């Protein structure tokens, strides 16, 4: 039994391919990857913002380092990850709580998978996240303070 369970465990490779994936499976992969990226940033952010208690010089010194263009681009990439992770996370919470799920229907051929019947909600949330990414892009790259 143990051996079978281990044999079915694809580990980290299972994130990327384990058969015919639907779009929600790719959302699952990006949810994990974006979550890991945000977690890494969180610890850096806690460390960097802690410099404010060491006085003006320490704060301005660290801000001049993280103010470089490469960090600015990284910050926008992080914003994309946050927008996706938050909106997809809301979808997962709704599904976990049974909200916005369609009513049970008779299994009439050709069968429509339950996921396909709630896919519109997924598309709606992804559209909102794309709008947020676009607005964020404007803020990060267009309306930058002189």
The binding site for another protein (CB under 8 A) comprises 5-6, 9, 11-12, 32, 35-36, 38-39, 42-43, 46-47, 49-50, 52-53, 56, 59-60, 63, 79, 82, 86, 89-90, 93, 96, 136, 139-140, 143, 145
In whole angstroms, how close is the CB of 122 to another protein at the nearest point? 17
Q: How far is the CB of 112 from another protein (least distance, A)?
A: 28
- Burial (CB count <10 Å: 0-12, 13-18, 19+), residue 84: buried
| Residue 22 CA: distances (Å) to CA of 16, 17, 40 | 12, 11, 28
Residue whose CB is less far from another protein, 47 or 105: 47
Radius of gyration from C-alpha coordinates of the chain: 21
**In the complex, minimum distance from the CB of residue 89 to another protein, in angstroms, rounded to a whole number:** 5
Three-state SS sequence of 41-104: HHHHHHHHHHHHHHCHHHHHHHHHHHCCHHHHHHHHHHHHHHHHHHHHHHHHHHHHCCCCCCCC
Nearer to another protein, 110 or 146 (CB): 146
By three-state DSSP, how is residue 18 classified? coil
CB of 9 to another protein, least distance (A): 4
The nearer residue to another protein, 5 or 70, going by C-beta atoms, is 5
Nearer to another protein, 32 or 112 (CB): 32
Q: In the complex, what is the shortest distance from the CB of residue 123 to another protein, in angstroms, rounded to a whole number?
A: 19
């Amino acid at each position: 039994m143990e051996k079978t369970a281990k044999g079915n465990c694809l580990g980290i490779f299972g994130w990327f391919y384990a058969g015919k994936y639907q779009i929600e499976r790719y959302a699952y992969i990006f949810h994990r990857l974006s979550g890991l990226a945000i977690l890494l940033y969180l610890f850096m952010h806690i460390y960097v913002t802690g410099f404010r208690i060491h006085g003006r010089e320490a704060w301005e010194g660290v801000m001049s380092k993280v103010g470089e263009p490469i960090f600015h681009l990284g910050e926008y990439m992080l914003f994309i990850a946050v927008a996706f992770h938050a909106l997809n996370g809301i979808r997962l919470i709704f599904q976990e709580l049974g909200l916005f799920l369609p009513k049970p229907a008779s299994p009439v051929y050709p069968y429509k998978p339950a996921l396909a019947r709630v896919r519109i909600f997924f598309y709606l949330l992804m559209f909102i996240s794309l709008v947020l990414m676009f607005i964020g892009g404007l803020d990060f790259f267009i309306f930058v303070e002189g």
